[in-house]
Amino acid sequence: MNRARTVLFWVLAAALLIGHVIVAWHSLVVWRFWEDEAFNLTVPRNLLAGLGYSSDGALSGSTITPFDPRISTGPVVLLPVAAMLATGIDMVIGARLIPLAYWILLLAGLAVIGRRIGGRWAALLAVAVPLAFTTSAGVSPIQGPADLLGEIPAAALLVWALIVLPRRAWLSGLLVGLAVQAKLIALLALPAFALALWMLADGHGVARLRDLLRRSWRPLLLVAVPTLLVELSALVSLGPAGFLQHLRALAGFVRSGGQGAATTISEKLVTLSGSWSLPGFIVASAAVILVVLIACGWRAAHRSLAAGDRLVRAYTAAALLGAVTFLAWWITASHLPLWVRHPAPGIFAFVPILAAVAVWSAQRLSAPSARRTALAFATLLGAVVATGAALHVIDSFTPRPLTLADQRSAVAPIAAWVDDTGTEWLAAEPWGVAIAPIVLSGAHVGLFDAPAMTDVPRLTSFDCTTEVLLDAGPYRICAAP
C-alpha cells in the first residue's frame, strides 16, 4: 500500500510539473504582450537609455515621468528586468523571464511550506492550487506566470517571508518589504505577519508581549527599508518640491486604485468563483470543505504544546487573515473593477497554504472514523484542485485572437518606419491594444488626448481621420490632427 501511494504521488507530481511547464511556456513565448506589460517595460527601457527610473508617463501626462505612481509594479521586478535587457536579450523574452523566475520561486516556497505543514501530499496540493487559479479573464488579466507584472513576484516573496519567519524574523520583515516594492498592494499582508509573530511569541501575558516586542522591532524596521530606499532615491531625483508632488500622486493612486468603476459584492463573488476553471457551485463547495477541515484541525490541536502544531497554527492564522484581508478589500471596494488580478497576490500566497493546512487537519484528527472522513474530504478537495489545474492547462492550448508572433509580424514595419523617420514618440489611440506595438517598435508611448501629444503621430487599430502615414495591417500610423 505504501509503495502504491508513493508511485501515485510521483505520477501526480510529474503530471503537475508538466502542467506548470506547459502554462509557463505559453506565457513566455506564445501569449500576446499586452498593454500593462508594455507600460511597465518602459521603465527598464528608459533606465538603460539613461533617463533614470522613469516611465513614458502614458497615464501621467505622456512625458517622461520619474518614479511614476501609476507604475504599481515596483523596482524589485523592474530593476532585474533592466539588468536582463542589458545583456542584449530579446526585449519581451528577457522581460518575462524575471516574473517567471519569481513564479518558480513561488512554487518552490509553497512546496517547502506545504511539506513543513503536512508532508509531501500537502506540498503537492499547495503547488497545484496556483495552477488551478486562472487570472486571464477580463481586460486587465494576469495571462500567465511570465507576464511582466508584480502580483506573482509579491506573492513569492510573501511565501518565503512566512517560511523564514519562525527562525529569522528580521529576514521575513525584509522579504515583506521587498514584496511591497514588487507590488504596492502587498501592504495588505502586514496584519497577517503581525498575527503570526504574536502567535509565535513565547510566554503568557506580559512575558509574551515582551517577547513579541523583542522579536518584532527588527522585522518592523526592515519591512520599511526597501520603501525608504526607493523614496530616498525619488527625493534625490525629484528634489523636495517634486518629491512632495510625487507623494501626493502616490497617495491618491493608492486610495483610488487608479480606477473609477462601480461594482457590487455579488459581482465580485461571481468573478472570483469563475477564476478556477470550474462551475461556481463546485468552487463554493470546495471552499466550504476547506474551511471545515481547517476548523477541525485547529480544534484538534487547540491544546497541543507540540512545536509543529504551534507553527502550523501560526501559519494557518496568518494565511487565513492574509487571504481574507485581500479578498475583503477587493470585494467590498465598489470602485475597483471586476479584475481578480487585484487580490491575486493574496490568493497566490495564502490560499495554497490553507490547502496544505487542510491536509494536515485530516491527518491531525485522532478518532479513526473522523480521520477517515476528513481524509476523504481532503481527497475530494485535491480532486477539485487537480481538475481546475488540468482545465487550465487544456485552456492554454486554445487559439488566441492575437499572439506574440502576430504582434512581432505587425510591429516589424512600424519599427522600420520609426527608425527611418527618427520618430521618438507615438501616441496610442486609445489606451489598449495600441500600447504594446508602440513600445515594441522602440518609440516612446503617450496617450492621444494628452496635451504633450498634440503634434505627435498616432498609432491606432481604427481608421485614420487624418493623413495615413503608414498602413501596417492591423495598425495604422496617422498624422497628428
pLDDT in tens, 127-184: 999 999 999 877 788 999 999 999 999 999 999 999 999 999 999 999 999 999 999 9
Q: Based on the domain organization, do 284 and 181 belong to the same domain?
A: yes
Q: Based on the domain organization, do 208 and 333 belong to the same domain?
A: yes
* pLDDT value at residue 208: 74
* Mean pLDDT of the chain, nearest integer: 92
* pLDDT value at residue 33: 96
Beta bridge partners of 477: 459, 470
With respect to residue 43, please indicate whether it lies within any of the assigned structural domains. no
Asked which of 373, 395, 417 is the last residue of a domain, the reply is 395
* pLDDT value at residue 297: 87
CA angle (191 as vertex; 319, 160 as ends), nearest 5:
50
Q: Based on the domain organization, do 388 and 329 belong to the same domain?
A: yes
Q: Based on the domain organization, do 388 and 439 belong to the same domain?
A: no
With respect to residue 462, please indicate whether it lies within any of the assigned structural domains. yes
Count of the separate structural domains present in the chain: 2
Q: Based on the domain organization, do 90 and 109 belong to the same domain?
A: yes
- Cα 339 off chain centre by: 12
The type of residue at 476 is: R
Q: Based on the domain organization, do 446 and 323 belong to the same domain?
A: no
Cα end-to-end distance, the chain, whole Å: 76
Q: Based on the domain organization, do 85 and 102 belong to the same domain?
A: yes
* pLDDT value at residue 216: 82
Q: Based on the domain organization, do 271 and 313 belong to the same domain?
A: yes
- The CA distance from 411 to 416, in Å, is 9
The type of residue at 310 is: R
Torsions phi, psi of 427, nearest 5? -100, 130
Asked which of 353, 375, 395 is the last residue of a domain, the reply is 395
Residues of the chain scoring pLDDT < 50 = none
Taking alpha carbons only, the member of 285, 329, 275, 324 closest to residue 133 is 275
User: How, if at all, do strands 468-472 and 475-478 pair?
Assistant: antiparallel
Q: Based on the domain organization, do 130 and 271 belong to the same domain?
A: yes
With respect to residue 277, please indicate whether it lies within any of the assigned structural domains. yes
* pLDDT value at residue 260: 64
Taking alpha carbons only, the member of 314, 320, 298, 360 closest to residue 167 is 314
* pLDDT value at residue 258: 63
* pLDDT value at residue 19: 97
With respect to residue 56, please indicate whether it lies within any of the assigned structural domains. no
Q: Based on the domain organization, do 202 and 155 belong to the same domain?
A: yes
Edge-to-edge strand list for the sheet holding 425-429: 444-447, 425-429, 458-460, 475-478, 468-472
Whole domain around residue 424: which residue ranges?
404-478
Q: Based on the domain organization, do 118 and 203 belong to the same domain?
A: yes
Q: Based on the domain organization, do 252 and 357 belong to the same domain?
A: yes
With respect to residue 452, please indicate whether it lies within any of the assigned structural domains. yes
